[in-house]
Amino acid sequence: MIRYALVCDQDHGFEAWFASSSDYDDQSARGLVECPFCASRQVRKQIMAPAVTGTKKSDGLKPDALKAMQTMMMQAAREVRSHVEENFEYVGDAFAREARDIHEGRSEQREIYGEATPNDIKKLKDDGVPCMPLPDVPDPSKAN
Ligand SMILES: [Zn+2]
Q: pLDDT averaged over the chain?
A: 84
Q: What is the pLDDT of residues 23-58, one digit of tens each?
A: 999 999 999 999 999 999 999 998 766 555 555 555
At residue 2, the pLDDT reads 86
Single pTM value for the model? 0.47
C-alpha 66 – ligand 1 centre gap (Å): 45
The shares of helix, strand and coil residues in the chain, as percent rounded to the nearest 5, are: 35, 15, 50
How sure is the predictor about 107, in pLDDT bands with cuts at 50, 70 and 90?
very high
Residues with CB under 5 A from ligand 1 (ion): 8, 10, 12, 35, 37-38, 40
C-alpha 50 – ligand 1 centre gap (Å): 25
Q: What is the mean pLDDT of residues 105-118?
A: 91
Strand-pair partners of 6: 14, 45
